[in-house]
Amino acid sequence: MSGARLLGLAGVVALALVPLLPLGPAQEYIWHVIIQIFLWSFVGSAWSLMGRFGLVSLGHGAFLGVGAYATVLLWNFYGMTPWAGAGLAILITVAFALVVAYPCSRFQVVGHYFGLVTLAVGEVIRLLIVAERDWTGGSLGVTLTTGGTASDWWTLQFADKRVFYYVGLAAWLFGLWVWWRVDRSMARSAMEAIGEDETAAASVGIRVARFKMAITALSAALTALGGVLLALYLAYANPDTLAGIGVSLRIVFAVVLGGMYALLGPFVGTALTIALSEYLRIYFGIKLIGIAETIYGLLLIVFIIFLPAGIYGSIAQAARRRLARPSGRLPLRA
Amino acid sequence: MVDPIFLLEAVVNGILLGGVLALLALGLNLIFGVIDIVWIAYVDLVTLCMYGVYFLVSLYGWPLWLAGLAGIGIGALLGVLVHLLIITPILSSPPINQLLATGGLLFFIQSVATLLWSTDHRSVRVSLPTLEVGGIFISFTRLLAFGLAILAMVALYLFLTRTYTGTAIRAVSQDREAIALMGARPQRLYLVTSAVGGAMAGVAGALLIIQYAVHPYFGGAFGPLTFMICVLGGLGNMVGAFAAAFIMAQVISVGGVLVSTEMGYVIAFVIFIVLMFVRPGGIFARRA
Amino acid sequence: MLELHAVTAGYGAFTALWDVSLRVGQGEAVAVVGPNGAGKTTLLRAISGLIAPRAGRIAFEGAELAGRPAYEIVAHGIAHVPEGRRLFPQLTVAENLKMGAFLPSARAHFRESLERVYALFPVLAERPTQRAGSLSGGEQQMLAVGRALMSRPKLILFDEPSMGLAPVMVLRLFDLISRVREVGFTILIVEQNVRQVLKLVDRAYLLEVGRIKIEGRAADLAEQDFVRQAYVGL
């Protein structure tokens, strides 16, 4: 087994063993933070499946929201267990994604245009959620109705946060696996060709619309799953935290910060942003609301201008360059 | 069924709303049409101008008309700053980076506003009468804002067609190298465009603060709407944006009366998605 | 008037011009001919400032122009009629001409310049409000030349003006260019249509794969071998 793989495996094993460590009185809080990091990294990886190929969506909050709300509402109103509800929610989200993706894929809606369309779509979903307040709870959000017991397998509620630690870890690893598979697939080469020149790609026989829609569907499905898991973990869904432009931008920011083209980029970025936001919350308390986002926004601008490959991405690039020096040739972006 | 009087009122209000929305869309389109970058944070610049006018009036006691003019100046200044500090470094970056840079600016503005001025809603109280024309009630404030918006758009039109700089701005959007061969500096033209786009945001801000309350997330309400109007009209197409603004405003206004305010917006947005399906290039797709 | 000395220029990793030297005297009409890909357009772009040369000097009436931006160079008195005309398609004829006089020095004599252009090209005077994109090929070329004249230049660079024009239009075009020359402008013209252009100019250079191969008086060069060389590059 190669060195990198061995390291990766060791890392996974180490992570799997973490919950067995005694982390003291603050452990509930630490689990909470780590679970958030896992789940949001998963969402970030899902987003980057589109982002890395030039399909920059600024409305992924829509997929999060539809996935989350569909699952919660199916349980609250129809008693459908989230085990099944999640599947249905993901299907609904994918169908919705395909409806929006179809005109975009067929008619060369790319770049700025695409960003704006997705932004609008994201807001539509958020507004729909708020408008239908009778059954979605509007801006107050909706809580997962539980029978009052702390642990319930039926609704995936667990008293011990560490169970969700493993759920989060599994999701995160799953996301990495999907990313890795796409990276090595024919789809990746096709999407990169499409990203560079759609017309040229079409002229060599690449079914542009099909690839774009497939990638969009995959990204949407994974994002929806992330939304489902987040809603189940928090037992609560809110249109501003799980839908809309705010959360969409936050996802994008975290991925860009970490590095959009690298496997672990979304993870690094998400970990940093969540850690930063928690630190600021502890440090400033409620004194300076908005300080975290202010710093995010500033950092995002600075990073885009000076370090577009992100933190992890830039380090990875530099490392690759050092490895390439002996032969003098730069390897293709792996 | 709804009383036809209310429907008529909704139509009129829709027209009045359309005027201001058109102003927003034109400013955004001007910058995109010339520089080829979408300022995702455009409506947040409008928000800042609204705050500017608000503070000048309520804290420093300026008369409204003077504060409005200052608002235009603030807008122009913001336009210049954004162009110099954020846009110029990323002019040749891939579109995603450009989107993210202005997206980051959106984030930044909204959070700085929260930091400095909290999420309180603030408005400038204007005591103007409500007119009654043939049974329908029209707010004079809205009528005034509409009139001024039209005036601003006419001024923009004259600037773009009658002045040297304005024509040069149209020229640089058609062929950047050729205009350089005539002795014009494309970078300077971009700067002027950004200043003008910012000034339009300032006008919009002054007109909006007398109708709506401002808060840090004001851009969240009007932003996506403005983008949708621009996309519907065909990105970069000024005439298209103008028309699309009034169409969307009608849908929102009439839908708001027929169903509910929020559903009015939802219907408008759904129509947008449907139209995207049917005519993805926008109702009046930009010619090459 | 214009002197290029050992100019090397290109795009990115690709070099299109190697060590090119040429000169154009005041009042002269000079042609640069050569096969496709010889670097003729690059040459004019280097002179007018659209690209910066990597090496060499470009002197115009004593001033060093190499590496200066385009908007500065046009202020020195060099106008460039680009390959493919590069008109502003959505602007009208009148607006295109107006843009030609963007320089403050040109704006001061706008009326005068406009009358001269309309006198030279009466077709343009007939339709000042027509969109430039809807003009015919020949009319577009005239507008492009007229636009260059509006900046009151001393030297005019023509990049393949006959490209895309019907043979009848080409004759008319060269006739117009010679009239422009008669009025007092100095001309540097890059062309593929060797036979026609040699009738128009005083001297010519042959540019091949980025280097000057032959230089001479037009009358001397208007013989079989040179023309064949210019077309085929052998």
Beta strands in chain B (DSSP E): 130-133, 136-139
CA distance B152 to B77: 18
For the purposes of burial, counting CB atoms within 10 Å of the CB of A70, is it exposed (0-12), middle (13-18) or buried (19 or more)?
buried
Does ipTM top 0.90? Answer: no
- Record the tokens describing residue A14, joined without a space: 């180490």
State the residue for tokens 């851009």: B219
* Helix A111-131, helix B95-117: angle, nearest 10: 40
| CA–CA min distance A1, chain B (Å) | 37
Does residue C12 lie within any of the structural domains?
no
Q: Which chain B residues are closer than 8 Å to A253 by Cβ?
A: 100, 103-104, 107
List the single best residue of C48, C51, C71 to mutate versus B (max B Cβ within 10 A).
Answer: C71
Give C95-140 pLDDT, tens digit per residue.
Answer: 999 999 999 888 899 999 999 999 888 888 998 899 998 988 888 9
Structure letter (DSSP) for residue C60: E
- C–A touching, 3+ CB–CB pairs within 8 Å: no
Q: How high is the pLDDT of residue B156?
A: 94
Q: Cβ A123–B114 below 8 Å, yes or no? A: no
* Per-residue pLDDT tens over the stretch A268-302: 989 988 988 888 777 776 667 778 778 878 888 88
Residue C131, chain B, CB below 8 Å: the answer is no
Instruction: Tell me which residue range forms the domain holding C201.
Output: 28-38+68-232
Residue C137 to residue C143: CA distance in whole angstroms:
10
Q: How confident is the model at residue B187 (pLDDT cuts 50, 70, 90)?
A: very high
Residue predicted with more confidence, B184 or B274: B184
Question: Per-residue pLDDT tens for C177-229?
Answer: 888 888 889 999 998 888 888 888 888 888 888 888 888 887 777 765 666 66
pTM: 0.85
> What pLDDT was estimated at residue B28?
92
Residue C18 lies inside a defined structural domain of this protein:
no
Dist. CA B241–CA A328, nearest whole Å: 52
**Residue B216 vs residues A140, A290, B57: alpha-carbon distances, Å:** 19, 10, 18
Q: Does the pLDDT of residue A331 top 50, yes or no?
A: no
Check pLDDT > 80 for residue A329: no
Q: What share of chain B is helix, strand, coil (3-state, %, to 5)?
A: 75, 5, 20
Which candidate, A131, A123, A139, places its Cα nearest to that of B261?
A131
pLDDT of res. B230: 87
pLDDT digits (tens, 9 = 90+) for B142-179: 888 999 999 999 999 999 999 999 999 999 989 888 99
> Domain residues of chain A, as ranges?
33-324
- Interface contact flag, B220 A253, Cβ < 8 Å: no
Q: According to the model, what pLDDT value does residue A150 have?
A: 60
Task: Check: CB of residue A34 under 8 Å from CB of residue A42.
Answer: no
Mean pLDDT (chain B) is 87
Tell me, yes or no, whether chains B and A touch by having 3 or more C-beta pairs under 8 A: yes
Tell me whether residues B38 and A301 touch, CB distance under 8 A: no
Give me the pLDDT at residue A334, please.
41
| Model pLDDT for residues A127-173, shown as the tens digit of each residue | 888 878 877 777 788 887 765 556 666 666 766 777 788 888 888 98
Class of the A33-324 domain? mainly alpha
In chain B, positions 68-87, which contact chain A (CB-CB < 8 Å)? 86
| Beta strand pairing call for C78-81 and C155-159 | parallel
Alpha carbon distance A52, A196 (integer Å): 12
Q: What pLDDT score does A39 carry?
A: 93
Task: Single out the residue of A271, A255, A231, A220 nearest to residue A45, CA to CA.
Answer: A255
Please state the rounded mean pLDDT for residues C76-104.
Answer: 91
**Conformational region of residue B145, where left means phi above 0, alpha means psi within -120 to 50, and beta covers everything else:** alpha
Q: How many helices (H) and strands (E) does chain B have?
A: 11, 2
Transcribe B105-163 into DSSP letters.
HHHHHHHHHHHHH-S--B-------EEEETTEEEEHHHHHHHHHHHHHHHHHHHHHHHS
Number of domains composing chain C: 1
In a domain, C21, yes or no: no
CATH classification at residue C73 = 3.40.50.300
Question: Could you give the count of Cα atoms lying within 13 Å of A110 in the half-sphere of its Cβ?
Answer: 19
Question: On the CB side of A216, how many CA atoms lie within 13 Å of its CA?
Answer: 29
| B260 CB within 8 Å of a chain A CB | yes
> What residues of chain B lie within 8 A of the CB of A115, using their CB?
38, 40, 95-96, 99
- Per-residue pLDDT for B286 more than 80? no
